[in-house]
Amino acid sequence: MRILLFILSLPLLLGFASVQAADVTLVPDPITEQAEIGKNLVYRFQVSLPAGSTLANDGLSLAAEPGEGEDFFSTPYPTKIISQEGGSALIEWAAPLPETLKPAEHQLKFVFSGKSSSGEALNGTWSGALKVDFGEGWSANKISNFIEERGMFLFLLLLFGFGLLMSLSPCIYPMIPITLAVIGTQSKEKGIMHGLVMSLTYVIGMALVYAIIGYLSATVASGITAFMQSPVVMVPIALLLIVLSFSMFGAYELQAPQFMRDKLGGAGGNRSGLLGVFVMGMVAGLIASPCVGPFLGGLLLMLSTTGDGLLAFISLFTFGMGMGVLLIGVGTFPALLGSMPQAGGWMESLNKGMGLLLVGMALYFLRPGSVIPANYFYPLIGAVMVLVGVFVGAFENLGSESGWWDKTRKALGILTLVSGLIFFVGSNLQYGFLGQAWRSVLPEVTAVTQIEHSGQEAPNTQLAEAAATTVPAPLPKKVQWEKIHTGENVQAFLDLKRAEAIASGKPIIIDFWAQWCVYCKKLDKKVWNQPEVVAESLRFITIKIDATKADDDEMSAIKNEYKVPGLPLVAFIDSRGEILYGSGQGGFTPAPEMLKIMKSIR
């Protein structure tokens, strides 16, 4: 009887055994040691499977359980199977870490459940520690956390140090002759203290410009950084640099107008001098701002995320004062020169050299992609080089009494003149009317030359048609954007695309762009046409918002929503439709870094 009951219950026992889940091993691949606040927390696990089996998509689950009392990540993305082969599978779990998270070490437990291809239930667990900290990128919370832990004094000291480093860059050198002209003429024979006061006033005016820009970018205005790159600012600055260069060439002496000096206290009065120097300092701040644009733009973007206008004002003022240290020294030094004999002809040559440097800076602000098209700009550079060669002394007659400096100057003039002629002719062949004439007269020769340089034979129509049926579609030459402009119902378009992204499980890239934005065009030329970036962009919905026109109420609201302090800004939305503020990139981001960011977006 017992044997009979055992035989009858055997199918039930076998059925019960068949529903028992098999235990699997989860091995982090690679082991995640640190996660970055504001970015995605990503874990990948190698899952051991029964021999010869694979992992089924149906019923796959990987749940993260934080330690007791912890809740430090947002809603996770769906678990994905990255790759698998018989006996093993690589799966991925990801979830965003909010920007409000504090640096700390957390405990995590992952619970896995799924089914093999044969229907066998699979279970597994893994536990470990995870360190959460800020990454390389700054954020509002990183700033506040730094100030809270290390103090405002150290934060401002670092900004002053960055400004001091910028004062040693070539961007500041063109302002040295301006400082000498504005302060030196008023400080002569009045002592060191007078020169110090005047130069401090000058630098305070310069720093105040940055402080105001910082306050506006963190509070009421959007696009201040980008506005400093627009032709509306660039062209007047370039013209002002050229006008100031004439002073260095001896065309006139730079000083406050006579009527202003008389009205404010008489010629050479302190009130006139201080006011004039303060105004010229503010002008100098505007002159330097586009040149230091990459660093200043990053600093403005960093501070604008705080929304703290006072902090931004103080921070940018401190940065400006650091950047003016060299100018303070230069402005104080002429007071010592006033009681010394005239230095001679070398000082005149130095002034003229500074004037040429001002002209070079003016051309820098008018460069292609900013104001002047390449087909006009590069021939203009060649013409300027020819004039510089003549000016330096290429045709100057030297006598037997000429010294080494006169001979060196003439040699430099001849070298500059010849180089300018070569540059003028070469740039015209490539960009200007000579090149257009050459290509119109010999179009066939040009085409044959291009084929020879490429190492390819002339195309065969039949072979090309046959290849088209077998070769997959080529990768686009650049990112394929869906473009929309200010005033074209942008918000409704973005809402539609976010819904589409959620439905298709795709993330979104939004490139805020403008015609006058120099670094927007640099992104197009240096980043969005790189093959690796283009290939990665195919898994995104790609949108380019042209904000060239003045902002209307809708565009202002959109920029506030996406935290756009200036252009360019590349915003990301994940496949759940959430805006990833921590991943947004302002200013110019090189292709390798942009590719890394794109690959991190889920």
- 283-307 pLDDT per residue, tens: 777 766 655 655 666 566 567 656 6
What tens digit of pLDDT does each residue of 90-102 get?
Answer: 888 888 887 777 7
pLDDT tens for 9-26 read 555 444 444 445 678 888
Kindly state which CATH superfamily the domain 482-600 is placed in.
Glutaredoxin (3.40.30.10)
Q: Which helix (H) or strand (E) holds 546?
A: strand 541-546
Specify whether the CB–CB gap between 365 and 371 falls below 8 A: yes
- Among the residue ranges 119-128, 231-240, 390-399, 408-417, the one predicted with the least confidence is 231-240
The residue that leads in pLDDT, 393 or 108, is 108
125, 111 contact by CB (below 8 A): yes
| pLDDT of 259 | 47
- Stated pTM of the model: 0.53
**What are phi and psi for residue 434, nearest 5 degrees?**
-65, -40
Q: Which two tokens stand for residue 345?
A: 């002809």
- The domain over range 22-133 is classified in CATH as 1.20.1600.10: no
Least confident stretch, 55-59, 228-232, 454-458: 454-458
pLDDT of 262-282, one tens digit each?
A: 443 334 444 446 777 788 778
What value does the mean pLDDT of the chain take? Answer: 74
Q: Which of 130-139, 153-162, 574-583 has the lowest mean pLDDT?
A: 130-139
- Residues ≥6 apart with Cβ < 8 Å to 185: 253, 254, 255
Helix (H) or strand (E) holding 416: helix 404-430
**The pLDDT value given to residue 238:** 77
Give me the residues paired with residue 114 across strands: 122
Our CA dihedral for 422, 427, 429, 435, rounded to 10 degrees, sits at -160
Q: What is the pLDDT of residues 52-101, one digit of tens each?
A: 788 888 888 888 888 766 677 878 888 888 888 877 888 888 888 877 77
How high is the pLDDT of residue 537? 93
315-324, 536-545, 577-586: range with lowest mean pLDDT: 577-586
Name which of 140, 138, 98, 517 is nearest 304 in CA terms.
140
Give the Å distances, CA to CA, from 461 to 449, 464, 471, 472.
Answer: 20, 5, 15, 18
Provide the pLDDT confidence category of residue 170 given band limits of 50, 70 and 90.
low
pLDDT tops 80 at residue 192: no
Cα distances (Å, whole numbers) of residue 476 to 34, 113, 393, 529: 36, 40, 52, 9
- Residue spans of the domains in the chain: they are 22-133, 142-371, 373-438, 482-600
Which pLDDT score is estimated for 444? Answer: 44
**Three-class HEC string of 123-172:** EEEEEEEEEEECCCCCCHHHHHHHHHHHCHHHHHHHHHHHHHHHHCCCCC
Tokens of 558: 């959109």
> Predicted confidence band at 551 (pLDDT cuts at 50, 70, 90)?
confident
CA geometry: angle at 570 spanning 582 and 170, to 5°? 95
Closest CA to 114 of 82, 81, 86: 81
- pLDDT mean over 452-474: 49
Tell which wins on pLDDT, 111 or 240: 111
Is residue 528 scored above 70 in pLDDT?
Answer: yes
Count the Cβ atoms, other than its own, within 10 Å of residue 454. Answer: 8
pLDDT score of 450: 43
Top pLDDT among 131 and 15 is at 131
C-beta neighbour count of 369 within 10 angstroms: 17
d(Cα 111, Cα 124) in Å, to the nearest integer? Answer: 6
Q: Which residues are paired to 63 by β-bridges? A: 111
Q: What is the pLDDT of residue 464?
A: 46
Is 473 a residue whose pLDDT tops 60?
Answer: yes
pLDDT of residue 487 exceeding 70, the answer is yes
Q: What pLDDT is stored for residue 481 in this prediction?
A: 94
DSSP 79: P
pLDDT at 440 over 90: no
